[in-house]
Structure 1
Amino acid sequence: MSAAFASVVLDCEALSAWVGQNRRMLAKLAVLRESDADLVVCANTIIEATHDRTNQARLNWVLSQTRVEPVTEQSARAASALLREAGLHGHKYALDATVAELALRQQRPTAVLTSDVDDLGRLCGSRVSVLSV
């Protein structure tokens, strides 16, 4: 993985892997932190990543290491436009669209760490590097 990113957006699987202390994810994050990449999470990703077995203390610590961005009306409208451009429906791809929209407005070069490489690739196009968790 290249460490030449100014911004890295984490989707649900990436956030969950960090909270769960997945070794591969921790290694990727170590490289990114050494390069001073800005780690960013969309606020609704927190909701998607939370379940009854979530270690809340660990989640809170992880979130303290990132910049959490809200979903505003403006960002929701931009995410809707991405869905239309990609020919996708909001019912299934709404959260991916908000992650993509967030990634597209970060300082470049930007990457998204995701398990949905195909979906995020369709939504972001070539403007953001989409990396597998």
Structure 2
Amino acid sequence: MARGKLSHEGTLVLDSEGLSKLLADDEPVVALVAEARRRGMDVVICALTIIEAVHARTDKARLRWLLSGLRVVAVGDEEAKAASALLMAVGLHGHKYAIDAAVAETALRQQRPVVMLTSDIDDMTKLCGDRVRLVAV
């Protein structure tokens, strides 16, 4: 499943759906994350992804365990400004795209090549262009 989708080295970024599926032990996502680690890729999420992916039924112990194995990238003033500029550059705005923009901005700052597991191919294509390889989950 994972072969051909990932590079050696670089970074794998999970969006909300990627993290949700990892939490749910979704076999294809678990396999992709495991393959990324075998290939020496850094596995990353934007801190805001946690807000979007977690709900009342989330297994908190599993969440803590999974997060301990991911690099969680903080969103501060500079990152928020860059995400806002990214939205403006592609003609998007508002809360509907805010977290996507922060996730895209996080992905764009990572060691290349960057692969993102996402359920939102259309918006992430607008935000990341061809600088991030998108894999639908």
Q: Does 1:96 align with 2:120?
A: no
Deviations 1:29-63 (A, max 9, x none): 12111101100111111111111100001111110
Q: Does 1:76 align with 2:80?
A: yes
Q: Aligned-pair distance for 1:3?
A: 2.2
Say which of 28, 33, 54 aligns to 2:32: 28
Residue identity in the other structure for 2:18: A
- Give the TM-score of the pair, scaled to structure 2: 0.93
Say which of 8, 14, 27 aligns to 1:10: 14
- Give the TM-score of the pair, scaled to structure 1: 0.96
Q: Does 1:37 align with 2:41?
A: yes
- Structure 2: 5+ residue stretches without partners: none
Separation of aligned partners in 1, 2:5 and 2:26:
19
In angstroms, what is the RMSD of aligned CA positions? 1.0
Separation of aligned partners in 1, 2:112 and 2:29:
22
Say which of 107, 114, 117 aligns to 2:111: 107
Contact persistence 1:82–1:97 (CA under 8 A): yes
Separation of aligned partners in 1, 2:122 and 2:55:
25
Deviations 1:67-101 (A, max 9, x none): 00111100000000110111111321000000000
- Over 6 Å off, 4+ runs: none
Separation of aligned partners in 2, 1:104 and 1:90:
20
The structure whose residues are more often helix, as a share, is 1
- Structure 1: 5+ residue stretches without partners: none
Separation of aligned partners in 1, 2:125 and 2:60:
30
